[in-house]
Structures are given as C-alpha cells and as structure tokens.
C-alpha cells in the first residue's frame, strides 16, 4: 500500500460525504494504491451511520473505526496510525477546512524527497481572532522551547513516513506536539508546506479557549516525558542527591562551627538546634531522600506498568 489517509472525526456527519468524495476525486488519477481510515471518536450524531452508507459507495477504499466514547484526537490518531498500511500516512481534519488537493504534493515530499514529517502551515487562516492570535503565541513558544522551526505545530494536515508515525506514543493531548515527539524518536527530517485553509462549512469548532492553557501545561508534560519518561531516576535522583548534599553539608558546617567555638573560645554562642539554618539543612536532607526514593519508585513502576492505551473500539469496517 502506497498511501493511507487517517481522518479523526467527531460529530462530522454533514461534512464526511463531501470530504470522502473530494479525496477520491483527488487520489484516483494518481498512480498509487491508497486507503482511507475514518476514526469516529465517539460521535453522538449520525457520523457512524453516514460511514456505513459511504462504505457501500467506496467498499475498496474506505475503512472506519468507531470508539465506544469520545477519547480525543490523540487517541484517534494513534489508532489510525496503527491501522494504516501505507508507506506514507497523511492526516486531515474531518471538517473540510483541510484541502485534499494538497495530498499529491505532501505525498511527494515524503516518498520522493525523503522527509520523515511534513507539517501543513495554514499561513492564511479563515478563523476568528480569538483562535488565530492565541495560536500564534502558542506556536512561537513551542518553536522556542523545542527548537523545531515550524509555524503551525497543531495543524491537522500532515504527512508522515509510516515508520515515524507508528513510532510515537500518543495519548491525552499529545497530538499538539507530534513534531517534537517524532524528532525525539530519532526522525530528524522535518519540514513544513504552506497549505490552503478553508472556512468551516458545517457545524462548529470542538475546541474552546481552555485548550491553550492545557496546551502549555501539556508542553511541560511532553518535555518531561521525552527527556525523563524512560529514566525518571536521572531527574529525581539527581535532584535528590543535590538536595541531600546541601542539607548534609549545612548541618555538618554547623556542627563543625560549634566544635571550633568550643575549642577556641571554650564556649558556643548558640546551640546547633537553636539555629534556623539547622532546620533548613535538615529539611533539605529529608527532601533529598524523598526525591531519590521517588525516582527509584518511578523506575520500578515503569518496569511493571501495563499498556496505557485502553481505547475501546466498538465497531470496525
């Protein structure tokens, strides 16, 4: 299989017939084999019934999965990536704002130019300022934080080398940082392509303002998981040893100072336990031990943890 199209859909019954017809019209003239995977993320409208009807029209092209409830876009993409059989995987949103006309060019950048990930850049967006301005700020922060020069990290239209897409671990809200996850997995050839963006034709956006707050919190989570997710002892153990040494040396210096005063002056101005610095040093030592044990327990839990992906598929076409 040359190409797999993975499309997460949540309450997109109105747009899917037009989207699938547009994709088929674009891909049929191409000299390649392809499949379309629609991941119904627990829709509450007629999305699944629409997919059943579309399956009758495109029996050799359309595949679909329906979740038992809404798990989120990351879950839909993860399952879609694992199901896809193509050498190249392209994702689009199901709301008709991403243009299937971009498929041939995106496919060529992966298959012919050798990129691992091509991210769509919606340079001209047809969204209200309440979405575009926070999005620009968010992308600028992520660009600085990750060192990846992309303008639109959260773009729904992307093209992947299959090995890169299947290598990343997606859950929660990790789809916002797919380029960072792919780079951290060792796939370094990442670029972007300016794509056409259309106004929403049906329904309304599924995301509110809170996604930007959650996005920055998720950035900290992803950064921690990428750097220390497989070796928590490296972080907590290092902090623990540092804190313990600071506390131990502080208390040791206070004891030495007391002995020095007794030897030189024959008396002490204050007992060790009467000095606030003693309690700060003791606290630092206790915190150091706790951090070290946290890292140790994290290593034990990591080695015993079960598979985290419990996405229940209700039906599959």
> What does the pLDDT look like over 140-154, one tens digit per residue?
888 888 889 998 888
pLDDT in tens, 101-119: 999 999 999 999 999 999 9
In this predicted structure, the answer to whether residue 208 has a pLDDT above a threshold of 90 is: no
- Measured CA to CA in angstroms, residue 1 lies from 36, 46, 86, 187 at distances of 11, 30, 5, 22
Three-state DSSP at 229 gives: coil
H helix intervals, the chain: 16-27, 47-57, 73-83, 103-111, 129-146, 162-167, 178-184, 210-228, 232-264, 276-304
> Domain limits of the chain?
3-228, 232-304
Question: Could you tell me the pTM of the whole model?
Answer: 0.76
DSSP 105: H
Task: State the pLDDT confidence band at 307, using cuts at 50, 70 and 90.
Answer: low
Mean pLDDT of 258-277: 80
Q: Are 201 and 195 in contact (CB under 8 A)?
A: no
Query: HSE on the CB side for 136, CA within 13 Å?
Result: 9
In this predicted structure, the answer to whether residue 225 has a pLDDT above a threshold of 90 is: no
Query: HSE on the CB side for 273, CA within 13 Å?
Result: 0
pLDDT in tens, 1-54: 999 999 999 999 999 999 999 999 999 999 999 999 999 999 999 999 999 999
pLDDT, position 129:
62
Of 195, 203, 158, the closest CA to residue 6 belongs to 158
Distance CA 235, CA 255 (A): 30
Distance CA 10, CA 7 (A): 10
Q: Is 272 exposed, middle or buried (0-12, 13-18, 19+ CB in 10 A)?
A: middle
- Measured CA to CA in angstroms, residue 21 lies from 40, 121, 210, 258 at distances of 18, 24, 34, 84
User: Is the pLDDT higher at 193 or at 262?
Assistant: 193
User: Is the pLDDT higher at 291 or at 229?
Assistant: 291
pLDDT, position 211:
62
Structure tokens at 92: 């689009």
User: Is the pLDDT higher at 257 or at 310?
Assistant: 257
CATH match of 3-228 with 3.40.190.10: no
Residue 229 burial (CB count, 10 A): 16
Instruction: Go through 141-153 and write b for each residue having 16 or more CB atoms within 10 A of its CB, e for each that does not.
Output: ebeeebebebbbb
Distance CA 160, CA 107 (A): 9
């Amino acid at each position: 299989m040359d190409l797999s199209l993975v499309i997460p859909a949540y309450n997109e019954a109105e747009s899917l017939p037009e989207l699938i017809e547009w994709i088929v019209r674009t891909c049929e003239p191409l000299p390649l084999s392809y499949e379309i995977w629609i991941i119904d993320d627990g829709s509450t409208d007629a999305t699944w019934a629409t997919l059943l009807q579309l399956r009758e029209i495109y029996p050799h092209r359309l595949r679909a999965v329906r979740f038992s409830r809404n798990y989120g876009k990351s879950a839909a993409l993860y399952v879609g990536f694992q199901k896809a059989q193509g050498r190249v995987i392209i994702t689009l949103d199901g709301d008709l704002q991403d243009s299937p006309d971009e498929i041939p060019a995106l496919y060529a950048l992966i298959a012919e130019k050798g990129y691992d990930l091509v991210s769509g850049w919606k340079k001209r967006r047809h969204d209200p300022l309440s979405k575009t301005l926070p999005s620009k700020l968010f992308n600028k922060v992520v660009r600085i934080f990750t060192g990846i020069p992309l303008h639109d990290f959260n773009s729904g239209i992307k093209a992947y080398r299959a090995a890169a897409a299947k290598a990343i671990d997606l859950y929660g809200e990790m789809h916002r940082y797919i380029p960072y996850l792919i780079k951290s997995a060792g796939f370094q050839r990442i670029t972007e392509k300016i794509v056409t963006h259309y106004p929403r034709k049906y329904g309304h956006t599924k995301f509110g303002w809170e996604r930007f707050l959650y996005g920055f919190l998720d950035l900290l989570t992803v950064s921690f998981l990428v750097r220390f997710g497989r070796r928590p002892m490296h972080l907590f153990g290092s902090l623990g040893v540092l804190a313990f040494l600071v506390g131990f040396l502080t208390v040791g210096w206070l004891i030495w100072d007391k002995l020095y005063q007794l030897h030189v002056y024959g008396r002490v101005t204050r007992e060790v336990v009467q000095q606030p610095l003693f309690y700060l040093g003791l606290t630092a030592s206790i915190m150091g031990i706790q951090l070290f044990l946290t890292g140790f327990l994290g290593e034990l839990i990591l080695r015993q943890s079960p598979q985290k992906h419990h996405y229940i598929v209700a039906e599959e076409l």
